């Protein structure tokens, strides 16, 4: 049990740092002024996708340790919030994984096909899948962080930053630009994950 808490804390902390790197370093490097398939085929985007997939996977496996650590105090709300969080992470990881190994390959081998899908009117299945994943991931972590504030097992700063980060992304994007919103908002969000993971890693049960 001690090892599982330490590993979970380490996973969440690394996931938080990786989230910051993805959105502060790699996302602004993307050439958004080129056709969509060309951007998807670039090495920069492949690195961004790969790190994003790793980030979500780390947060997914780390969330189990967070829930286990506060489970006796979080009640039914905490259990439901964790379930949504875990499913949201699983959905988003599947989405990122598919982009790394499938969509990127299409962008390289058949860019016209990818562009045709992008230009098609209405919402296609790929769009719906992405929307479901993002909504579940966002609502899951907001509710999970809220359950941590209610349970009082973890220090309030980490969960508070997670909630603030999710709201900061669209607000800063609307006030400035999507690039700045993604960078600054995810820096707040990633910092929350890092602090939460570090706390679990250093917790008395994990470290004893």
Q: Which of 164, 181, 161 is nearest to 172 (CA)?
A: 181
- The pTM of the full predicted model, rounded to 2 decimals, is 0.92
- Summarised one tens digit per residue, pLDDT across range 43-95 is 999 999 999 999 999 999 999 999 999 999 999 999 999 999 999 999 999 99
- Summarised one tens digit per residue, pLDDT across range 154-194 is 999 999 999 999 999 999 999 999 989 999 999 999 999 99
Work out the average pLDDT over 27-34.
Answer: 85
* Count of domains for the chain: 1
| % of the chain at pLDDT higher than 90 | 74
Work out the average pLDDT over 111-127.
Answer: 85
Domain that holds residue 53: 2-207
Q: Which of 132, 140, 183, 194 is nearest to 25 (CA)?
A: 183
pLDDT above 90 (res 122): no
What does the alpha-carbon distance between residue 99 and residue 104 come to, in Å, rounded to a whole number?
6
Q: Which of 45, 23, 56, 57 is nearest to 104 (CA)?
A: 45
SS3 assignment, position 154: coil
What does the alpha-carbon distance between residue 147 and residue 39 come to, in Å, rounded to a whole number?
39
pLDDT score, position 116: 87
């Amino acid at each position: 049990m001690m090892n599982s808490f330490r590993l979970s804390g380490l996973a969440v902390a690394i996931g938080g740092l990786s989230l910051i790197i993805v959105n502060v370093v790699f996302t602004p490097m993307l050439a958004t002024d080129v056709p969509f398939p060309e951007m998807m085929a670039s090495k920069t985007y492949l690195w961004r996708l790969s790190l994003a997939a790793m980030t979500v996977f780390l947060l997914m496996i780390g969330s189990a340790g967070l829930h286990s650590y506060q489970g006796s105090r979080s009640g039914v709300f905490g259990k439901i919030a964790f379930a949504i969080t875990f499913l949201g992470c699983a959905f988003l990881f599947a989405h990122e994984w598919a982009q790394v190994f499938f969509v990127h390959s299409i962008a390289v081998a058949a860019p016209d096909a990818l562009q045709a899908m992008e230009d098609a009117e209405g919402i296609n299945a790929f769009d719906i899948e992405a929307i479901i994943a993002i909504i579940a991931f966002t609502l899951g972590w907001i509710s999970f962080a809220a359950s941590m504030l209610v349970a009082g097992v973890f220090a309030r700063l980490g969960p508070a930053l997670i909630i603030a980060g999710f709201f900061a992304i669209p607000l800063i994007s609307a006030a400035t630009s999507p690039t700045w919103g993604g960078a600054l908002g995810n820096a707040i969000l990633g910092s929350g994950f890092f602090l939460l993971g570090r706390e679990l890693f250093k917790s008395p049960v994990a470290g004893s």
